[in-house]
């Protein structure tokens, strides 16, 4: 029986997020009382949105990936292990031995936490359970203990749902995504770093007054500050830094302008598709749990519709390559995740209210920590790649997304104790960041409630 269920789950997973999510959304919608016709339409609308996102992200990978590679070669970066990014890490994770078990485990943790009123986040983004699964898969392949792997899924899932609670007021306030949250992925687990940076900058006279954003630039320079123009300029600059001539750099600029214009429209499709489910879910949960507030957990891709996030993502392509050189002992060449670097700093941008000046500092720390951790997890990533047949057996593998995750690193280091000094440093730093994030979220939530009154 379990084999049949496992195969069915894997079959749906293999169809990808653009098919998997519509099916999940439609089924959940029908189960909680949304009419079948409306549920099917909602699912398809979300599918359309994710197809659009996939097309845009694929274009960014296809265009920015080679530019990033050319840039690193041009500046002589001799880093031996290439970052395979989330496009390489997620299929590897889904191929692991605990993948199909991880989905019901992660859903079970969410249901239990909701029932015990330990979280307000209702995660419907089944595809991104791969982030939680990755922690379990790494722990399993490193320790050889299946149950420690499952415990890794549980720990990561529980923390993710609490992160969803933390960021919900921010999504409502800055992104205007009322009732939604992003509980997982690099955006969620790296954003606490930005809360510390924001608190520090607030204490520095003069510096705390500096506010640079696409919106403020538009006020000062007019049309040159519009997102479509900023995208074109930054895209062309990346091309020229890669050594491209005008014939290659300028088309890259136009394509980044297209990202700036199309991404918000695509995200709107997802929001429209989610509306019936979101409204009905709130009715059902409110009836079940009283007047409690709940948040629908979604893919961090919905945050890429913000012009400041896309702008910061483009700026951090060359900056991340520079940071890779500066990280002591680093072997990882950022590549696979460069085109979607906006995922890493999306919530950080919101923490700073779209202030790109502050985002430069928090984003630099986020990417520095990510690269350092990814460098430490190369042996673990390589072992996972070999057990899932994702490498030829000789190549070392690294990934910034998840391979650079502090949650995975801390959990696995506690089990192996291979690097006590590294474990202590990351655990203390990340623990402090989480405490600042809790304080920041409470302040943001209180301010939002005051504005509502």
Residue 113 pLDDT grade (very low, low, confident, very high; cuts 50, 70, 90)? very high
Answer whether residue 189 shows pLDDT above 60: yes
Tell which residue, 108, 134, 94, 74, has the closest CA to residue 6: 94
**SS (HEC) of 14-41:** HCCHHHHHHHHHHHHHHHCCCCHHHHHH
Are the C-beta atoms of residues 51 and 153 closer than 8 Å to each other? no
In the structure encoding, which two tokens stand for residue 452, read together?
A: 């509502």
Residue of 381, 371, 301, 306 whose CA lies nearest to 334? 371
Q: Is 180 helix (H, G, I), strand (E, B) or coil?
A: strand
Q: Which of 329-338, 348-357, 394-403 has the highest mean pLDDT?
A: 348-357
Cα 166 to chain centroid, rounded:
15
**197-228: burial string, b at 16+ Cβ within 10 Å, e else:** bbeebeeeeeeeeeebbbeebbeeeeeebbbb
* Residues 62-74, mean pLDDT to the nearest whole number: 75
DSSP H or E segment with residue 244: none
Beta bridge partners of 181: 297
Query: Torsion over CA of 253, 256, 258 and 263, rounded to 10 degrees?
Result: -170
Choose among 288, 313, 285, 365: nearest CA to 121: 285
The HSE-up count of residue 183 (CA atoms within 13 Å, CB side) is 31
Residue 356: C-alpha distances to residues 108, 185, 324, 349 (Å): 39, 21, 21, 7
Check residue 76 and give its pLDDT. Answer: 65
Positive or negative, the CA dihedral 348, 351, 354, 360 is negative
For 8-12, 42-46, 170-174, 204-208, which range has the lowest pLDDT when averaged over its residues?
8-12
Distance in angstroms (rounded) separating the CA atoms of residues 103 and 200: 39
Residues in the chain: 453
pLDDT at 16 over 80: no
pLDDT value for 12 = 67
In this structure, how many other beta carbons lie within 10 angstroms of the beta carbon of residue 140? 24
pLDDT at 177: 84
Res 168: pLDDT: 92
The pLDDT-based confidence of 372 (bands split at 50, 70, 90) is: very high
Contact 112, 379 (CB under 8 A): no
- Residue 51 has a pLDDT of 81
Res 450: pLDDT:
66
Task: Give me the residue label for tokens 């204490």.
Answer: 203
Identify whether the C-beta of residue 317 lies closer than 8 Å to the C-beta of residue 64: yes
pLDDT of residue 451: 65
pTM for the whole structure: 0.81
In the chain, where are the structural domains located? 2-452
Element (H, E) at 332: strand 332-333
pLDDT in tens, 215-252: 666 555 555 556 677 778 878 888 888 888 888 888 88
């Amino acid at each position: 029986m379990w084999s049949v269920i496992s195969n069915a789950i894997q079959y749906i997973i293999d169809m990808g997020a653009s098919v998997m999510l519509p099916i999940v959304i439609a089924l959940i919608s029908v189960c909680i009382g949304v009419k079948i016709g409306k549920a099917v339409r909602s699912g398809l609308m979300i599918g359309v949105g994710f197809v659009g996102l996939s097309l845009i992200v694929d274009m960014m990978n296809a265009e920015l990936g080679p530019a990033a590679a050319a840039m690193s070669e041009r500046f002589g970066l001799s880093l031996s292990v290439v970052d395979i990014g989330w496009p390489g890490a997620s299929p590897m994770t889904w191929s692991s031995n605990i993948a199909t078990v991880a989905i019901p485990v992660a859903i079970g943790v969410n249901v239990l936490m909701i029932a015990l009123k330990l979280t307000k986040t209702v995660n419907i983004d089944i595809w991104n359970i791969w982030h939680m699964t990755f922690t379990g898969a790494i722990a399993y392949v490193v320790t050889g203990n299946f149950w420690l792997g499952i415990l890794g899924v549980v720990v990561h899932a529980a923390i993710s749902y609490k992160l969803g609670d933390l960021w919900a007021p921010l999504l409502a306030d800055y992104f205007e995504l009322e009732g939604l949250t992003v509980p997982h992925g690099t955006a969620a687990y790296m954003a606490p770093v930005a809360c510390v940076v924001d608190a520090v900058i607030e204490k520095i006279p003069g510096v705390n007054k500096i506010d640079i954003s696409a919106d403020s630039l538009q006020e000062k320079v007019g049309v040159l500050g519009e997102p479509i123009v900023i995208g074109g300029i930054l895209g062309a600059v990346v091309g020229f830094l890669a050594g491209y001539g005008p014939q290659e750099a300028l088309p890259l600029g136009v394509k980044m302008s297209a990202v700036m214009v199309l991404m918000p429209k695509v995200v709107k499709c997802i929001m429209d598709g989610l509306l019936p489910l979101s409204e009905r879910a709130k009715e059902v949960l409110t009836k079940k749990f009283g007047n409690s507030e709940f948040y629908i957990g979604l893919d961090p891709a919905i945050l890429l519709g913000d012009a400041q996030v896309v702008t910061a993502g483009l700026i951090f392509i060359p900056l991340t390559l520079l940071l890779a050189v500066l990280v002591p002992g680093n072997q990882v060449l950022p590549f696979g995740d460069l085109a979607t670097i906006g995922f890493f700093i999306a919530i950080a941008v919101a923490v700073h209210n779209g202030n790109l000046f502050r985002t430069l500092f928090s984003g630099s720390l986020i990417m520095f920590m990510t690269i350092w951790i990814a460098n430490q997890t190369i042996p673990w990533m390589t072992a996972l790649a070999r057990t899932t047949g994702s490498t030829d057996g000789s190549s070392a593998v690294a990934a910034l997304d998840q391979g650079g995750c502090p949650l995975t690193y801390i959990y696995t280091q506690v089990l192996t104790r291979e690097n006590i000094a590294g474990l202590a440093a990351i655990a203390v730093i990340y623990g402090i960041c989480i405490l600042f994030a809790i304080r920041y979220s409470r302040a943001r939530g209180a301010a939002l409630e005051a504005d509502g009154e």
